[in-house]
């Protein structure tokens, strides 16, 4: 089944403790992206990657890092999480960097205390 998977689905952590949220897709997509969703603010793009070793900032990249060493994986790294990064995170992928729909993962609900 074609899908985007994320792990973990739920995470509660403390301020400053480094964490990684993994994202993997099995559709051989070149493009992958991370979003966060907050009430009243909607979905906002954090980082995106057009292909292996190519990443770029979205609208809200502060406090996040990403890497794209393999085509199928695009982990999101929070080096020193803070409470304002408490949010619902979605990973997405699509076939080409230009045009066409994105396929979203199931989401990771992160709480930073």
Site of interaction with other proteins (CB under 8 A) = 4, 31, 33, 35, 40-45, 48, 50, 56, 58-59, 90, 92, 97-107
Least Cβ distance, residue 27 to other proteins (angstroms) = 13
- CA–centroid distance for 1 within its chain: 21
Q: Looking at beta carbons only, is 21 or 92 nearer to other proteins? A: 92
Cβ neighbours of residue 91 closer than 8 Å, sequence gap 6 or more = 4, 6, 21, 23, 25, 32, 33, 34, 35, 74, 76, 104, 105
Least Cβ distance, residue 80 to other proteins (angstroms) = 26
Q: Looking at beta carbons only, is 15 or 110 nearer to other proteins? A: 110
- Provide the sign of the torsion angle of the four alpha carbons 59, 12, 80, 4, taken in this order: negative
Helices (H) and strands (E) in the chain, counts: 0, 11
Least Cβ distance, residue 89 to other proteins (angstroms) = 10
Q: Looking at beta carbons only, is 48 or 64 nearer to other proteins? A: 48
Q: Looking at beta carbons only, is 82 or 97 nearer to other proteins? A: 97
């Amino acid at each position: 089944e074609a899908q985007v998977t994320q792990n973990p689905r739920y995470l509660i952590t403390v301020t400053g403790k480094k964490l990684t949220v993994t994202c993997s897709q099995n559709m051989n997509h070149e493009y992958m992206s991370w979003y966060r969703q907050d009430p009243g603010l909607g979905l906002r793009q954090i980082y995106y990657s057009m292909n292996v070793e190519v990443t770029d900032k979205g609208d809200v990249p502060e406090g996040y890092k990403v890497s794209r060493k393999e085509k199928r994986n695009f982990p999101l790294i929070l080096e020193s999480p803070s409470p304002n990064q408490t949010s619902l995170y979605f990973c997405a992928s699509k076939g080409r960097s230009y045009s066409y729909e994105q396929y979203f993962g199931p989401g990771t609900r992160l709480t930073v205390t």
